[in-house]
Structure 1
Amino acid sequence: MYNQTKLIGIKTLGQPTNDTHPHIIKKGEVTPLITKIEYGNRRCNLVDAIRNYSFKNNLKSNNHLIIIPAASTQYMSAKIPYFFRQNTEFLYLTGCLEPDCCAVLTITDQHFFTTLFTRNKDDNAEIWDGPRTHAEDAADFFGVNQSLPIGGLENFISSFRNSMGHMNLWYDYLTPVQHYVHSIVEKIMSETGNKNCENPKLLIQQLRIYKSPAEIALMQKSCDIAGEAFIETIKHSTPGMVESQLNAKFDYECKLMGAENLAYPPIIAGGNRACIIHYINNNQIVKNGDLVLMDAGCEYHGYCSDISRTWPISGKFTPEQRNIYKIVYDVNLELIELCNKFTTLDYLFETMLYSVGKKLQHIGLLPKQESTFYLMQVTNQLCPHHSSHYLGMDVHDTPTLKRNIEMKPGMIITIEPGIYINENNMLLPANYRGIGIRIEDDVLITENGPVLLSYKCPKHIDDIERLASENKQLHW
C-alpha cells in the first residue's frame, strides 16, 4: 500500500504526478500512459502540419504564432463550480489539466518554441482550491521549452509580433474557450488592423484522429469499464424501476472501476421513450414488458467510450421485439465486418439504411415491390441518426473532419445501427409500435481489420436475455 507519509517534503503540482500519485502516473508520464515525449511529438507534428499548410496556401510569412488556450472553470452558482473539463485541443498538446492556462507555439524559419503559460501564484486561492503548477515547475514537468505566468501573455505576444514584423496568427477565433486569452487576441488584432487569423483546430484534429498505442490502451480500458458497468446495470434492472436508478447504477459501477466521470449524460429510455434519440430526462418508470435502451460510456483519464445496449426489463423479448432486435444485431455485425481502411463512415450509413430496409422487407414489415430510393427514405425515418462517428478524447471526436474520408489504421469509430418505431408511426403494424432499439460498439481500425474495443459488453440476444433475467427471482 502506498505510504501517504512519503508526501512530506514532496512538491505537489496542480495535477497528479509520479511523486504524489504513483498508482496512476509512472516516471516520464505527464498523464496516465502518455509521456512527455509523446506530448512533444504531438507539438512537432502540429508544427510540421502548419508549415505544410503555409507552403501549400502561400501564407504571407514563414513566422507563425499559435495560441491554444485552456478552458476556464464554469460556475453553477456563486463559488460553486461545475466539474472542470479541459479543452481537448489544449490537453492533446500539453497534458495540462488545469484551467486558465495557455500554450503558445512560435515558429520561425528554422525553429519552433513552446511556452506554457500557467496560472499566476495566488496563496489564498490555493488554500481554497488546492495547489497550482507554478511557472518554475511547469517547463520540466510538461516538457516544454519554457513556462511563464499567464499574466505575461499579452507582453509575450506583443514582443514576438514586434520582433517578427510579419507573422501568421493561429487561433480559434470563432469558438473561444477562455475569455482572458480571447480579449488579448482581440486587442492585438485591433491594434494591427488584422481581422483574420488561421484556425488551428482542423490541423490538430487531423492529428488527433489517429490514436497512438497509449491512447488505444486508454480507450480499451474505458470500454472495458463501461462494458462491465453495462453488465451489472442490466442484471440490476427490474420492472418498476425509475430510469434514474439505472443511471445511478451505471455511474456507480464506472467510478468504482476507476473512471473519473461518465463521458456524457446517459440515455436510459424505457418503452416508447427509446424512440427519442437524445432522451436524457431519465425520470420515468420502466414497466413490465418495456425495453430499456441505454446509451452510455465513461471517461478514463481523458478518453471516452460510447456504447448502447437494449434489453427487456422483464428478462424476455416479445416476438416483435425479438424480430427488430435481430435485425439491428445483424446489421451491427455487418457494419463492423465492413470496417477497413477503404471504408468511409458515410458508406457505412448508406449500407445500414439499405440493409435495415431489406431485412424489414424480409419479415414482411415493408412492401417488397418498392424502389431502393423509397426503401432508403423509409429506413432513414426509422433511423434518423448516422451509423457512426469518430471517438476519442471527445465522444463526438474531431468534429471538423468529414465522414466521407477513408478510414485508416489508428482511427476509432462507433458502429450504432438502430430502429425506432414510435407509437404514433402508422407505417408499421400496431404490435411493433413503441419499440426502439440501438446496438452501439466502439471499433479500432487496424491494418488487419476491425478490432472490437467494446467486446466485453454482451449483445447477442441470448446473452442479453440471460443477463436481464438474472436476479429477477429475487424481486418477483
Structure 2
Amino acid sequence: MFSGIKYWLRYSPNKFGCQLLACFSTKITLKSNLTKTEYTRGTHPHACGQPTSTTHPHLIKRGEVLPGISLQELKRRRSKLVECVTLMANTKNIHRQQIVVIPSSIKVYMSDKIPYVFRQNTDFLYFSGCQEPDSILVLTYKEDKSSYTLFVRARDEHSELWDGPRTGVEMATEVFGTDYSLPVTEFEQFLAALIQEDKGSIIWYDHADVVQPILHKKLCRLIKLTDNQIFASPKILFHQIRLIKSACEIDLMRDSCRIASDAIVKTIQSSKPGISEHQLFTTVDYECRMHGAEYLAYPPVVAAGRNANIIHYINNNQIIQSGDLVLMDAGCEYHGYSSDITRTWPISGKFTPEQKVLYEIVLDVQKNLIKSLKEMPSLDNAFRHMCFLLGERLQDINVIPKNIEESKLLATAYAYCPHHVSHYLGMDVHDTGKISRSIRIQPGMIITMEPGVYINPKTPYAPSHFHGLGIRIEDDILITENGPEILTKNCPKEIAEIEALAS
C-alpha cells in the first residue's frame, strides 16, 4: 500500500485536493469526456448497474435515480450534509480540510459463491443513490469549497457475465450526479494525497459499525498519516438529516405502509385453526411482494398462543390451535422504505372474554397515545405515558392490585410491556438510531406506536386465567403540523373489524 502512496506523493501537494480530481487520472478523464456520447443510458440501455428510466420505465421515471427519488433530491441531501459539516467546523472554529467517507455495503456469502440477498448501507444509499456493492462516496470540504467523488467498481466483462452489468466509472457522474468518479482501486492514493495536502485533515468515518472490513483496515492505516490520528463519527449528522422525511420519502412510506397493511388483512382472512405460523409468514411475504415490495423489512413475528410472550419470536414453526391468539409483527421494504405493523387476532374468529378485555385495554391505550402526539412529546415521554395508562387500566380489571403504591405503578406496568412504545421509522425499521428518543417529535418524522401486554406465570400479580396471553397493536405515524397521520390506517384494529376478518 505505502509504495502506492509514495508514487502519488511524488507530485507537488498543490496538485491535490478538490482541484486535483479534474485531472486525477488521464485515463479516467478521457473516458469521462465520453459520458454524454458513447456511454449515455439511451445508447447503452443495459450498461448501468441498477435500474434506470430507460431499462426499467415501470420503476424509474425520467429524472429519477431511484424509484421515487430524483437526482435533484439526492443533490439536496448532499447540500444539506455540506451545510452540517460547515456548521460543525465553524462552531468548533476548525479551518482544516474535512473529508467524509461513506462506504457501501459489500456482498455477504452464505456459502461458496452463493450470496445472501444484497441490501445497501442506507446512509450510503441516502446520499449517493447507488445500489452497487464495494463503492465509496467521499465528500471533501475546505474553505467553503466542496466536492463529491464516487468510487465504483470498474467495468469487468468476466464479472458482469456472472453478476450483471456495472455502472462503471465512465457513467457514474452522469447517473448519480456526483462531481467526480474514480475506480474504487484508486481510493487509497486519493485519500493519501488529500492527507499529504493537509495533515490536519478531519476524516469523518463511522468506525464503530464497520460495513467494509478491508476498507476499514486501510482507513485505520491512513488515519495515522494525519495529525489527529482519530476518526470523527458522521453518524449523528447523517441521522439528523435523515430524521425529517422529504415529500417524496413520505410518498414512498405511504406506499410501503399501504402494501403491508393490505398484506396483513389478507393474512388474517386466510388464517384458521390448524394452520402453521410458517404458512402465515409465507402469506404475508407473498402478498407484500405481489404488490411491489422487494422483500419483508425484517424477519416477521408470527406468534400463536404463548409464543406471543416472546417479544422477538421468529421461529414461526408452531401449529396454531383453536382458541389461540395470533400476534403478527410484519412490514415490507418498498423501494428502500420500511413499514412496521403489528396486529393480534383470534384464530377462531372470536375473542374470548379474557382476550377481549386485554385487547380493548391495549387498543384504548394506543388510541390515547396517538391522540397525544398532537402535543409533540418525546418518544420517551410517550413511553412513560403508556406505562401510566396501562397501569391504571390493568388496575381496573384487577390484573395489577389497586392498592399498589403510585411510585411502583409504572415499574409494574413495565413488567407487562417490557419494550419501548415507539421508535423512528424510515429506510431502516429502527431508523436513525443515533437520534435520542428524548427529543420532542417534529413534523416530518415518522414513528411507530406499539403498546402491548404480555402475561406469563412469572409476571407479577397476574391472575392465572390471563397466563399465556400476548397482545400488541402497532401503527406507523407521520407527524404533521395538523396532528398525527396514521399511515397504516388501512389495517383494521377495532374488535368488530378484526373478528369479521378472522371469521
Q: Per the shorter chain, which TM-score range?
A: over 0.9
Map 1:368-379; keep pairs closer than 5 Å. 368-379=402-413
Letter in 2 for 1:207: I
Deviation, structure 1 residue 373: 1.9
Separation (CA, whole Å) in 2 of partners of 1:449 and 1:279: 33
Separation (CA, whole Å) in 1 of partners of 2:406 and 2:436: 25
- 1:389 is aligned to 423
- 1:305 is aligned to 339
Deviation, structure 1 residue 378: 1.1
Separation (CA, whole Å) in 1 of partners of 2:177 and 2:374: 36
- 1:63 is aligned to 97
Separation (CA, whole Å) in 1 of partners of 2:262 and 2:43: 37
Percentage of identical aligned residues: 49
Which of 187, 201, 204 is the matching residue for 1:170? 204
- 1:434 is aligned to 468
Q: Check conservation: 2:239, 2:432, Cα contact below 8 A.
A: yes
- 1:34 is aligned to 69
Which of 145, 153, 167 is the matching residue for 1:111? 145
| Stretch of structure 1 that moved more, 47-56 or 436-445 | 47-56
Which of 262, 270, 289 is the matching residue for 2:323? 289
Q: Check conservation: 1:293, 1:437, Cα contact below 8 A.
A: yes
| Stretch of structure 1 that moved more, 96-105 or 331-340 | 331-340
- 1:340 is aligned to 374
Letter in 1 for 2:438: N
Map 1:310-329; keep pairs closer than 5 Å. 310-329=344-363
Which of 276, 282, 302 is the matching residue for 1:242? 276
Change in CA separation of 1:48 and 1:426 when aligned onto 2, cut-off 3 Å: closer
Separation (CA, whole Å) in 1 of partners of 2:324 and 2:353: 13
Separation (CA, whole Å) in 2 of partners of 1:182 and 1:341: 44
Letter in 2 for 1:434: G
Q: Check conservation: 1:228, 1:456, Cα contact below 8 A.
A: yes
Question: Does 2:79 correspond to 1:21?
Answer: no
Map 1:61-460; keep pairs closer than 5 Å. 61-192=95-226, 194-340=228-374, 342-425=376-459, 427-460=461-494
Deviation, structure 1 residue 47: 1.0
Q: Check conservation: 1:12, 1:20, Cα contact below 8 A.
A: no
Residues 132-179 of structure 1: CA deviation (Å, up to 9, x unaligned): 111110101111101111011111111122223421111011221112
Change in CA separation of 1:7 and 1:170 when aligned onto 2, cut-off 3 Å: closer
Q: What's the secondary structure of 2:133's corresponding residue?
A: coil
- 2:79 is aligned to 44
Structure 2: gaps (5+ residues): 1-40
Separation (CA, whole Å) in 2 of partners of 1:398 and 1:51: 21
Separation (CA, whole Å) in 2 of partners of 1:50 and 1:101: 22
Letter in 2 for 1:439: I
Separation (CA, whole Å) in 2 of partners of 1:168 and 1:341: 40
Letter in 2 for 1:43: R
Separation (CA, whole Å) in 2 of partners of 1:312 and 1:11: 50
Letter in 2 for 1:201: K
Separation (CA, whole Å) in 1 of partners of 2:175 and 2:146: 19
Q: Check conservation: 1:341, 1:406, Cα contact below 8 A.
A: no
Residues 315-368 of structure 1: CA deviation (Å, up to 9, x unaligned): 000000000000000011011111136311011101111101111111222222
Deviation, structure 1 residue 53: 1.2
Separation (CA, whole Å) in 2 of partners of 1:341 and 1:104: 40
Separation (CA, whole Å) in 1 of partners of 2:305 and 2:165: 48
Structure 1: gaps (5+ residues): 1-5, 470-476
Deviation, structure 1 residue 8: 8.4
Q: How many pairs are equivalent?
A: 463
Q: Check conservation: 2:141, 2:147, Cα contact below 8 A.
A: yes
Residues 348-401 of structure 1: CA deviation (Å, up to 9, x unaligned): 101111101111111222222222222111110000000000000000001111
Give the superposed CA RMSD: 1.4
Separation (CA, whole Å) in 2 of partners of 1:425 and 1:104: 51
Q: What's the secondary structure of 1:127's corresponding residue?
A: helix
Change in CA separation of 1:384 and 1:113 when aligned onto 2, cut-off 3 Å: same
Residues 71-104 of structure 1: CA deviation (Å, up to 9, x unaligned): 0000000100000011111001011111000000
Separation (CA, whole Å) in 1 of partners of 2:144 and 2:413: 55
Q: Check conservation: 1:341, 1:445, Cα contact below 8 A.
A: no
Deviation, structure 1 residue 426: 5.8
Separation (CA, whole Å) in 2 of partners of 1:46 and 1:424: 49
- 2:32 is aligned to none
Separation (CA, whole Å) in 1 of partners of 2:47 and 2:288: 27
Q: Check conservation: 1:340, 1:408, Cα contact below 8 A.
A: no
Change in CA separation of 1:119 and 1:394 when aligned onto 2, cut-off 3 Å: same
Q: What's the secondary structure of 2:99's corresponding residue?
A: strand
Q: What's the secondary structure of 1:337's corresponding residue?
A: helix
- 2:4 is aligned to none
Change in CA separation of 1:316 and 1:72 when aligned onto 2, cut-off 3 Å: same
Residues 23-61 of structure 1: CA deviation (Å, up to 9, x unaligned): 1101110101111111111111111111111222344x3
Separation (CA, whole Å) in 2 of partners of 1:30 and 1:249: 31
Letter in 1 for 2:486: L
Separation (CA, whole Å) in 1 of partners of 2:221 and 2:227: 10
Moved over 4 A (4+): 6-9
Q: Check conservation: 1:246, 1:268, Cα contact below 8 A.
A: yes
Residues 424-447 of structure 1: CA deviation (Å, up to 9, x unaligned): 446211111111000000000001
Q: If the length of structure 2 is used for normalisation, what is the TM-score?
A: 0.90
Letter in 1 for 2:298: Y
